[in-house]
Amino acid sequence: MIADLLAGLEAAVNRAAPVAELDRHIAGIAAIMESHFRYEERQLLNVLETLSLDAPPEEVLGPL
């Protein structure tokens, strides 16, 4: 999906699309990436919550 969105942006740049159109492409890419990162964070937090640590998480894992 990201590859398709980037290809659309590249095509718009190559044909000198109006700034408003470029903004829409960039906003779409940003929305998909943010959604993806939120999903990954939820998945990682589920795993991290199951860890049995001998010290506070910040000491073992660093800043999260």
**Domain assignment present for 11:** yes
φ/ψ (deg, to 5) at 56:
-55, 145
- pLDDT tens digits for 9-56? 999 999 999 999 999 999 999 999 999 999 999 998 888 888 888 888
**How many independent structural domains does the chain possess?**
1
**Domain assignment present for 53:** no
Q: Is the pLDDT of residue 6 over 80?
A: yes
**What value does the CA radius of gyration of the chain take, rounded to a whole number of Å?**
19
**Domain assignment present for 52:** no
Q: Which domain holds residue 7?
A: 2-47
**Domain assignment present for 25:** yes
B/e letters for 20-42, b = 16+ CB within 10 Å, e = fewer, are: eeeeebeeebeeeeeeeeeeeee
**Domain assignment present for 18:** yes
**Domain assignment present for 23:** yes
Q: Is the pLDDT of residue 64 over 70?
A: no
